[in-house]
Amino acid sequence: MEISIIGAGSIGLLFASYLADFYEVAVYSKTIEQAKLIEEHGIVLLKGSSKKRVQVKALPFEKYIRNEDLTILAVKQYQLNEVLPALNGGNLFFLQNGMGHLETLQKLRSENIYVGSVEHGASKENQWTVRHNGEGITKSAVFRGSSEPLISLSNTLSGLFPISLEKDYYEMLLKKLVANAVINPLTAVLGVPNGRLLDNPYYLMVFNQIFEEIAYILKLKNKEEMLKSVMEICQKTAKNRSSMLKDVEAHRKTEIDAILGYVVMEAEKQNIKAPLTENFYHMLKGKEKNREGKF
């Protein structure tokens, strides 16, 4: 199977480093410079004290031509509009946070479309090196079409880089959305690692309040179970700094629109007042404005 990975951030490099042992992998980066560096150095995977190097084909995205069996979209949700026009059919596997892209996926002509929820911890050390900080699982589900390519991928990677096949893509993404909507904005505004949201009693009060508001907006049926799940994620990743916090610290654009923006829109559709959700959304949007140098 030939696999193309669009996006050479931490998740794109992580997937490429594991998939390259079994498949012919091509990585498409945003810049020519990064593609040249990956071609020169390969992709280096750091995990604990171990170090592994794999060679993959690397090209800038402008040279993407679909001729693979599976294309994995490992870009941020707000970057999808830049790459979707080049995708002409094929088997597409989307790994974005949030749920705002589901409406866009409905419009694609591809016969087989899959969505995923990545629960690994990963950070990019440089343009060709990724550190696997925390082992997890990639949950996947069929958005449209046949599950055969996903089953094949899951069977091949079983035990090494597990990919599970879930029955309901909406419930799968909803669970990840709730966790991201609670943890990411709070850690990004407060500037703390995930575990501090539970350790600090005052942060924990805000944690519980925003969860309750989000649960009401999204009409969660299994609220207690979902809260337990979000708290377990915080505990398992206690020392981790969320991706949104990292983006704020690096003065990059965040995924606030894809995550909390989706919740805000759902509240507006239902004419529900959501002061906490809206305030954290506006605080993060304000940080993005500061990044742009507008104020």
Long-range contacts of 144-151 (CB under 8 A, 24+ apart): 144/105, 144/110, 144/111, 144/112, 144/113, 145/91, 145/110, 145/111, 145/112, 145/113, 146/111, 146/112, 149/1, 149/69, 149/70, 149/91, 149/112, 149/114, 150/93, 150/114
Could you say which of 76, 139, 175, 176 is catalytic?
176
Long-range contacts of 99-104 (CB under 8 A, 24+ apart): 99/173, 99/174, 99/177, 99/258, 99/262, 100/257, 100/258, 100/261, 100/262, 100/265, 101/77, 101/258, 102/143, 102/173, 104/80
Element (H, E) at 114: strand 112-118
Is 176 a residue of the active site?
Answer: yes
Residue 293 CA to residue 272 CA, distance in Å, equals 33
Read off the amino acid at residue 32: I
Catalytic residue numbers?
A: 176
